Amino acid sequence: MTPAPPTLERPPYDSVRLCATKGAFEAIPRRPVRLDLRRAARRLTDSGLDVIDARVLLIVRAEPEVTLSQDGRILVKTLDAQRAQESVDDLWSRITRA
């Protein structure tokens, strides 16, 4: 069994919380983050996800749907906290794999 590729850094999120509209969960970076959305889109697409590049954000067409902003905010369209956390963790690992 081969080890998983290392990630570039630990996720910059302390937690995933219900957003203000209470229609989804959000992860907000604890420090300012500037993501290279083109690179992130390429890595997500290469990992088998369907991604819409809207220039200022990415929409990951998965279940649940996830929106990734250039400032690192992630919005997960689900009302299940555990599923939202798993989606954020999975998305971050796909983006940061070396």
Q: Give the pLDDT band of residue 20 (cuts 50, 70, 90).
A: confident
Identity at 9, one-letter amino acid code: E
Give the whole-angstrom CA distance, residue 10 versus residue 21.
Answer: 28
| pLDDT tens digits along 77-86 | 999 999 999 9
Give the whole-angstrom CA distance, residue 50 versus residue 46.
Answer: 9
Residue 52 β-bridge partners: 59
| Mean pLDDT score of the chain | 87
The arithmetic mean of pLDDT across residues 37-53, rounded, is 96
Is the pTM for the entire model greater than 0.95?
Answer: no
Domains and CATH numbers, the chain: 13-96 (3.30.310)
Angle at 7 between CA 37 and CA 64, to 5 degrees: 55
Maximum Cα interatomic distance, the chain, rounded to a whole number of Å: 44
